[in-house]
Amino acid sequence: MYNVFGDFMERLQKIIASKGYCSRRKAEELISSGKVKVNGNIIKELGYKADHSDFIEVEGNPLGDKEDKVYYLLNKPRGIITSSNDDKGRKTVVDLIKTDKRIYPVGRLDYDTTGLLILTNDGDLTRYLTHPKNNIEKVYVAKVKGLINKEDLKTLCSGVIIDGKITSKCKAKILKIDKKNNSSVVELIIHEGRNHQVKKMLQTIGYDVLKLKRESIAFLTLDGVKSGEYRELSIKEVKKLYGEKNY
């Protein structure tokens, strides 16, 4: 959509995300809560369209020019908050990465969950990777209390109800049974990203999770990245995440 002056108009949340402030979903939350101004006026309408030349403030901060996009793969350790900041002063995943860009995590891992996490300032990629319709594969390895069996996993893979909604079909296999310590290790492949999903799915069939690690997202793995360390994604990897064929 163009205004009478020929400038390009876009939804406000898209502009905020494109300039690296936060994801589009987070931008929508900020708009709805009255924390966004355009040319001095508070905007709460999610359908509001603005121009990139408008003076936009988010949480009192002027929105700068469009930032260069950055992409990081982090091997998240235990005891770290998956957030850009924490009101209790706890260490976050963003604190582990040296960058002058305003980045945020794509999705989340629980405080005690470890493994692969992507951080970026690219709101479009964040939306693409987290939207259920895109079926982005995520592989988890869980250590659970109890001796899990194939029938339990068959039930799990068919879909179980968590938070009043059935989960999509998934894949799972037993990696280890430890009779001495009454525990099991299972691999679970899902395409959703609901809150505490893997833990809740396993609890539904009677197994509490003792440890949980995300091993991969799509084709990305933790190969060569130790716990607490990170690396930048290559341009080729970013294009492949977007599903481009000619990368």
Q: In the chain, where does DSSP find H-type helix?
A: 12-18, 24-32, 123-130, 150-158, 197-204, 235-241
d(CA 91, CA 245): 38
Q: If you search the block for the tokens 């001796």, which residue do you land on?
A: 147
Q: Are 81 and 87 in contact (CB under 8 A)?
A: no
51, 95, 110, 124: the active-site residue: 110
Q: Which amino acid is at 229?
A: E
**Residue environment code for 163-186, b if the CB has 16+ CB neighbours within 10 A, otherwise e:** eeeebeebebeeeeeeeeeebbbb
- 152 included as an active-site residue: no
Which amino acids are annotated catalytic? 110
